[in-house]
């Protein structure tokens, strides 16, 4: 397998893309798991289908070659994040229903535009189910740029994110602008979703966003350490998944997600008693 990585450039590109995605997924996924907004993240992840379908339709129908489904995914993800954040802040009692509506609406719009788009839409199918082997240099540069953006925002706003993850009411009393901070956190989630789509596709993106962080939460009680472990686990899942998919001729995105799921199952089996995420929140409150 090591020889294959050095003899096939597309495997090297896939590995680098997986590492880049694991970096952001580990950081933002830790916030997602601790904040318990995996359902919101799932809605963002699946609503991007609408943006991907729309941009592919515009590209094929009006010959706008500079457009790509990934750009549409980014636009749709950010729009969904802002809409869901606004709903969370204004209509908390009906949040779950509206999130489900956004989830289904985004996917429905995507299906409609897929049907209207001329030609065979294999490109969009790769974004849906993941084909990391198609990653180009331009895609990799974009992933690294988004990584840098996520890292910069996290370094500047970590304490504020920490506050709202623990207790939004207490954070507001301490002077944190909760609505703005929450919207910014959801924007990072949206960007992370778009990054991970390159690796495992829109359908399986939640597996790579939440599972590494969930496993890391069983191994430590510090949020920063949890992020580091989640990054390492995401990278490990990418390497193992790519190796298995190459050896067994399986779809790479699905194999990576399945590898993550098997590791998570193993962590549950060997998990000892206790509530690690509760301990993280408790440690965060003491730190503040």
CB 52 within 8 A of CB 72: yes
| Rounded Cα–Cα distance for residues 162 and 223 (Å) | 9
CB 201 within 8 A of CB 253: yes
The pLDDT of residue 278 is 47
50-54, 59-63, 250-254, 280-284: segment of lowest average pLDDT: 280-284
For the chain, the C-alpha Rg in angstroms (whole number) is 19
Q: What percent of the chain has pLDDT over 90?
A: 29
pLDDT for 90-134, tens place per residue?
776 566 777 888 888 998 998 898 888 887 666 677 777 777 887
Number of Cβ atoms within 10 Å of the Cβ of 199: 31
pLDDT for 261-273, tens place per residue?
999 988 888 765 4
Domain locations in the chain as residue ranges: 2-287
Q: 174-185 burial by CB neighbour count: b if 16+ within 10 A, else e?
A: eebebbebbbbb
193-197, 215-219, 221-225, 230-234: segment of lowest average pLDDT: 193-197
Mean pLDDT of the chain: 84
| Rounded Cα–Cα distance for residues 211 and 36 (Å) | 13
C-alpha torsion sign, points 275, 84, 206, 165: negative
pLDDT for 223-243, tens place per residue?
999 999 999 999 999 999 988
pLDDT at 38 over 50: yes
pTM for the full predicted model: 0.86
| Rounded Cα–Cα distance for residues 213 and 215 (Å) | 5
The pLDDT of residue 127 is 74
Q: What percent of the chain has pLDDT over 70?
A: 89
pLDDT at 282 over 60: no
pLDDT at 276 over 80: no
Q: Of 162, 6, 128, 145, give the one whose Cα is nearest residue 56.
A: 128
Q: Tokens 């096939």 — which residue? A: 8
Higher pLDDT, 165 or 284: 165
| Three-state SS letters, the chain | CHHHHHHCHHHHHHHHHHHHHHHHHHHHHHHHHHHCCHHHHHHHHHHHHHHHHHHHHHHHHHCCCCCCHHHHHHHHHHHHHHHHHHHHHHCHHHHHHHHHHHHHHHHHHHHHHHHHCCCCCHHHHHHHHCCHHHCCHHHHHHHHHHHHHHHHHHHHHHHHHHHHHHCHHHHHHCCCCHHHHHHHHHHHHHHHHHHHHHHHCCCCHHHHHHHHHHHHHCCCCCHHHHHHHHHHHHHHHHHHHHHHHHHHCCCHHHHHHHHHHHHHHHHHHCCCCCCHHHHHHHHHHHHC
Q: Does domain 2-287 have CATH number 1.10.3470.10?
A: yes
The pLDDT of residue 2 is 67
Paired tokens of 255: 């194999």
pLDDT for 205-216, tens place per residue?
888 899 999 999
| Rounded Cα–Cα distance for residues 281 and 34 (Å) | 8
| Rounded Cα–Cα distance for residues 132 and 201 (Å) | 9
pLDDT for 168-190, tens place per residue?
888 888 888 989 999 999 999 99
């Amino acid at each position: 397998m090591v020889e294959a990585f050095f003899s096939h450039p597309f495997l090297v590109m896939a590995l680098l893309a997986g590492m880049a995605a694991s970096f952001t997924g580990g950081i933002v996924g830790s916030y997602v798991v601790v904040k318990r907004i995996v359902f919101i993240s799932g809605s963002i992840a699946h609503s991007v289908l609408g943006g991907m379908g729309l941009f592919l339709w515009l590209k094929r129908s009006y010959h706008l070659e500079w457009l790509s489904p990934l750009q549409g995914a980014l636009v749709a993800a950010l729009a969904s994040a802002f809409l869901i954040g606004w709903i969370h802040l204004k209509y908390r009692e009906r949040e779950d229903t509206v999130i489900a509506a956004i989830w289904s609406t985004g996917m429905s719009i995507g299906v409609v535009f897929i049907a209207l788009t001329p030609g065979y839409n294999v490109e969009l199918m790769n974004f849906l189910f993941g084909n990391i082997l198609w990653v180009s240099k331009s895609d990799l540069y974009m992933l690294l740029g988004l990584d840098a953006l996520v890292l910069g925002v996290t370094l500047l706003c970590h304490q504020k994110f920490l506050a709202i993850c623990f207790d939004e009411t207490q954070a507001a009393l301490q002077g944190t602008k909760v609505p703005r901070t929450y919207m910014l956190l959801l924007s990072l989630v949206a960007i992370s979703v778009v990054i991970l789509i390159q690796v495992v596709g829109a359908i399986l993106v939640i597996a790579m966003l939440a599972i590494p962080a969930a496993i890391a939460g069983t191994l430590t009680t510090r949020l920063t350490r949890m992020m580091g472990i989640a990054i390492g686990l995401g990278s490990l899942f990418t390497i193992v998944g790519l190796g298995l998919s190459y050896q067994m001729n399986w779809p790479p995105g699905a194999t990576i997600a399945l590898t993550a799921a098997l590791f998570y199952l193993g962590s549950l089996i060997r998990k000892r008693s206790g509530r690690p995420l509760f301990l993280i929140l408790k440690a965060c409150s003491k730190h503040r």
